[in-house]
Amino acid sequence: MSIRLVSALASAIILSVAAPAFADEYYSDNQTQSSRGDHWWSGDWYITLGAKGFVAPDYEGAKNYKLRAAPVISIGRPGSSLKFSSLNDNPSLGFIDTGVFRAGITGKLITGRDSSDYDELKGLNDVDWGVELGGFAEFYPTENVRGRVEVRRGIGAHDGVVADFAIDAFKNLTDTVRVSAGPRATVATKDYFREYYGVNASESAASGLRQYSPGGGLNSLGFGGQITWQTTDKITTSAYAEYNRLMGPAADSSIVKQRGSENQATFGLQATYRFDFKL
């Protein structure tokens, strides 16, 4: 299995720029809200640096898996206002936070797909890399349950709209160990599906895959969970796993039916270190 870092490094750059107020980890209640001066950037900040290794499908709909590595970068202000965050969340910046409801902007880096890298995709057009930008909203119906939705529009990689839905129940087993789990769902428009799962006439002739022109609809249903250990005041480690079943237009694609798999799983480990500083 190969390890790809170029796209992961780009993802880290996107994250560090797009999410200056987002933290991947939660902090204990004895940490106080940062002191702020005359400017929005004045006061206490932190930067979290780390790495994660994970096993995931070669591409969306693939049956083969690959070991990958990626850096983790997070910049934000210390405090306990963020009740919960999942490793499944995309980088986000909240503008509204009532304690029960939170909303703002979010973004995701989309890696490209070079068909020549995979025997089962030879003859298909390549998919460019790009980003998805949009908004998110999350709410807490109870103290230990969070619902979150992200709606993002593709730029560069595709022209579609993707919406992710997740519900997580979380519990602190100790002062330093938290577990969480919950269901996932993703829907998308036809422009998204046609980019990743469509096969036109010329591609069909070149690849041997059945011609397929999908519409919009449900992309996947799944379930994910994680365990996070605040190893020290500065070090956080996490393990996570997620399973998704491709549905609708994705599952009906000849890319999946003839040479791929409807079952998509991800397993990973992550470790980070937090540096505190003041501006």
pLDDT for 82: 60
Q: What is the pTM of this model?
A: 0.81
pLDDT digits (tens, 9 = 90+) for 93-139: 778 888 899 899 999 989 899 999 999 999 999 999 999 999 999 99
Angle at CA 9, nearest 5°, toward 65 and 76? 115
pLDDT digits (tens, 9 = 90+) for 138-191: 999 999 999 999 999 999 999 999 999 999 999 999 999 999 999 999 999 999
Q: Was domain 6-278 assigned CATH 2.40.230?
A: yes
Token pair 């999350």 is found at: 138
Coil/strand/helix, residue 22 = coil
DSSP result, 23-75: -SS---TTSPPPP--SSTT-SEEEEEEEEEEEEEESSTT-SSEEEEEEEEEEE
Give the chain's length.
Answer: 279
* Of 158 and 50, the one with more pLDDT: 158
Share of the chain above pLDDT 70, in %: 84
| Residue 85, token pair as written in the block | 């965050």
Q: Is there a contact between 152 and 124 (Cβ–Cβ < 8 Å)?
A: no
Identify the bridge partners of residue 106 per DSSP, sorted by sequence position: 92, 134
Task: Map out the domains of the chain as residue ranges.
Answer: 6-278
pLDDT for 276: 87
| Residue 164, token pair as written in the block | 């992710």
pLDDT for 37: 54
